[in-house]
Structure 1
Amino acid sequence: MRANNNTRFLLLAASIAMTGLMPACSGQPGGVSDPAASAKVDDRFNQSGFPIVKEPVSLKVFGCKDPNHADWKDVLVLKEYAKKTNMNMQYEETPAQGCDEKRNLLFAANELPDVFLRANLSNTDISRYGMQEGMLIPLEGLIDKYAPNLKSLFDKYPDARKSVTAADGHIYTLPAIRLLSSGRTDKIWINKTWLDKLNMKAPTTPDELVALLKAFRDQDPNGNGEKDEIPLGLRDMGMVFSTFTGSWGLDRQMGYNINIKDDKVHIWLADERFKELLIFLNKLYSEKLLYKDFYLGDLPKWRSNLSQAKIGMFFIQASDPFTKVEGQFTGMAPIKGPHGDQSYSASGPLASPIGTFAITKENKSPEATIRWVDYFFSDEGSIFYQYGIEGQTFTMKDGKPAINDSIKNDSRGLMAALGQVNLVPGGAFPFLTTDKTGNIVENEKTQEVSKFVEPFIPKTIYGPPIFDKATTDEIVPIKTDIDKYINESIAKFIIGELSFDKWGEYAATLKKMKLDELEKAYQKAYESLNKK
Structure 2
Amino acid sequence: MRNLKVLTTTLAAVLAVSSLLSACSSGDKATKEEPAAAGDKANSVLNASGFPIVKSDVSMRVFGCKDPNQAAWKDVLVLKEYEKKSGIKMAYEETPTQGCSEKRNLLFASNELPDLFLRADLSNTDISKYGMQEQMLIPLEGLIEKYAPNLKKLFDQYPEAKKTVTATDGHIYSLPVIRLQAAGRGDKIWINQEWLAKLNLKAPTNVDELFTVLRAFRDQDPNGNGKKDEIPLGLRDPGMVFNTFAGSFGLDRQLGTNANIDNNKVKLWVGDDRYKELLMFLNKLYAEKLLYADFYAQDLPKWRSNLSQALYGMFFIYASDPFSKVENQFAGMAPIKGPHGDQLLSTGSPLASPIGTFAITRVNKNPEAAIRWVDYFYSEEGSQFFNYGIEGQSYTMKNGKPVILDSIKNDPRGFMAALGQVNLVPGGGFPTIIVDDIVLSEKTKEVSAVSEKFTSKVMYGAPIFNKEATDKVVPIKADIDKFVQESAIKFILGETSFDKWGEYTATLKKMKIDELEQAYQTAFDAMNK
TM-score under structure 1 normalisation? 0.89
Of 224-233 and 410-419, deviating more is 410-419
Q: Deviations over 1:127-154 (max 9, x none)?
A: 1110110000111111112111111111
Of 95-104 and 120-129, deviating more is 95-104
TM-score under structure 2 normalisation? 0.90
Task: Give the superposition deviation at 1:472.
Answer: 1.4
2:461 maps to 463
Q: Deviations over 1:461-516 (max 9, x none)?
A: 22221122211111111111111221222222223333323222221111111000
Task: Give the superposition deviation at 1:298.
Answer: 3.0
CA distance in structure 2 between the aligned counterparts of 1:77 and 1:36, rounded to whole angstroms: 37
SS class of match (1:41) = helix
CA distance in structure 2 between the aligned counterparts of 1:70 and 1:225, rounded to whole angstroms: 48
CA distance in structure 2 between the aligned counterparts of 1:222 and 1:411, rounded to whole angstroms: 33
Question: Structure 2 regions of 5+ residues with no counterpart?
Answer: 1-24
Aligned residues: 502
Task: Give the superposition deviation at 1:413.
Answer: 3.8
Of 130-139 and 34-43, deviating more is 34-43
User: What amino acid is the match of 1:452?
Assistant: V
Question: Structure 1 regions of 5+ residues with no counterpart?
Answer: 1-26
1:475 maps to 473
CA distance in structure 1 between the aligned counterparts of 2:333 and 2:34, rounded to whole angstroms: 49
Task: Give the superposition deviation at 1:411.
Answer: 4.2
CA distance in structure 1 between the aligned counterparts of 2:82 and 2:165, rounded to whole angstroms: 26
User: What amino acid is the match of 1:239?
Assistant: M
C-alpha contact (below 8 Å) 1:30/1:133 kept by paired residues: no
2:516 maps to 518
1:17 maps to none
2:139 maps to 138
Task: Give the superposition deviation at 1:292.
Answer: 2.6
Task: Give the superposition deviation at 1:97.
Answer: 2.4
CA shift in 2, pair 1:166/1:373, >3 Å: same
- The answer to whether residue 118 in structure 2 is matched with residue 117 in structure 1 is yes
1:494 maps to 492
1:484 maps to 482
- The answer to whether residue 71 in structure 2 is matched with residue 73 in structure 1 is no
SS class of match (1:395) = strand
CA distance in structure 2 between the aligned counterparts of 1:448 and 1:87, rounded to whole angstroms: 40
Task: Give the superposition deviation at 1:291.
Answer: 2.1
Q: Deviations over 1:176-221 (max 9, x none)?
A: 1112222213211111112112211111112221222222223222
CA shift in 2, pair 1:488/1:180, >3 Å: same
CA distance in structure 1 between the aligned counterparts of 2:286 and 2:427, rounded to whole angstroms: 31
Q: Deviations over 1:302-333 (max 9, x none)?
A: 23332332222111222222222221111000
Q: 2:526 aligns with which of 509, 528, 532?
A: 528
Task: Give the superposition deviation at 1:156.
Answer: 2.0
Of 138-147 and 398-407, deviating more is 398-407
CA distance in structure 2 between the aligned counterparts of 1:304 and 1:75, rounded to whole angstroms: 34
- The answer to whether residue 359 in structure 2 is matched with residue 358 in structure 1 is yes
1:19 maps to none
CA shift in 2, pair 1:78/1:308, >3 Å: farther
1:62 maps to 63
Instruction: Give the alignment's Cα RMSD to 1 decimal.
Output: 2.1
Q: Deviations over 1:96-130 (max 9, x none)?
A: 22222222222122121111111111111111110
CA distance in structure 2 between the aligned counterparts of 1:89 and 1:381, rounded to whole angstroms: 18
1:160 maps to 161
1:446 maps to 444
1:414 maps to 415
C-alpha contact (below 8 Å) 1:36/1:141 kept by paired residues: no
CA distance in structure 1 between the aligned counterparts of 2:79 and 2:200, rounded to whole angstroms: 51
1:309 maps to 310
SS class of match (2:339) = coil
- The answer to whether residue 343 in structure 2 is matched with residue 342 in structure 1 is yes
Please list, as runs of the form range in 1=range in 2, the aligned pairs for 1:243-392 lying within 5 A after superposition: 243-392=244-393
Q: Deviations over 1:45-96 (max 9, x none)?
A: 3232222234443322222222322222222222222222232322222222
1:237 maps to 238
Task: Give the superposition deviation at 1:236.
Answer: 2.2
User: What amino acid is the match of 1:480?
Assistant: A
User: What amino acid is the match of 2:230?
Assistant: E
Task: Give the superposition deviation at 1:340.
Answer: 1.1
CA distance in structure 2 between the aligned counterparts of 1:116 and 1:189, rounded to whole angstroms: 37
Task: Give the superposition deviation at 1:412.
Answer: 4.2
User: What amino acid is the match of 1:414?
Assistant: F
Task: Give the superposition deviation at 1:249.
Answer: 0.6
CA distance in structure 2 between the aligned counterparts of 1:225 and 1:413, rounded to whole angstroms: 36
Task: Give the superposition deviation at 1:31.
Answer: 4.5
Q: Deviations over 1:394-451 (max 9, x none)?
A: 22222222222333344444333322222222222111123xxx11122322221112
SS class of match (2:355) = coil
CA distance in structure 1 between the aligned counterparts of 2:501 and 2:327, rounded to whole angstroms: 40
1:91 maps to 92
User: What amino acid is the match of 1:136?
Assistant: L
1:219 maps to 220
C-alpha contact (below 8 Å) 2:28/2:139 kept by paired residues: no
User: What amino acid is the match of 2:491?
Assistant: F
C-alpha contact (below 8 Å) 1:320/1:441 kept by paired residues: no
CA shift in 2, pair 1:408/1:104, >3 Å: same
User: What amino acid is the match of 2:254?
Assistant: Q
SS class of match (1:130) = helix
CA distance in structure 2 between the aligned counterparts of 1:186 and 1:36, rounded to whole angstroms: 50
CA distance in structure 2 between the aligned counterparts of 1:465 and 1:29, rounded to whole angstroms: 22
CA distance in structure 1 between the aligned counterparts of 2:107 and 2:293, rounded to whole angstroms: 42
Task: Give the superposition deviation at 1:270.
Answer: 0.7
User: What amino acid is the match of 1:155?
Assistant: D
C-alpha contact (below 8 Å) 2:68/2:96 kept by paired residues: yes
Task: Give the superposition deviation at 1:373.
Answer: 0.9
CA distance in structure 2 between the aligned counterparts of 1:30 and 1:488, rounded to whole angstroms: 43
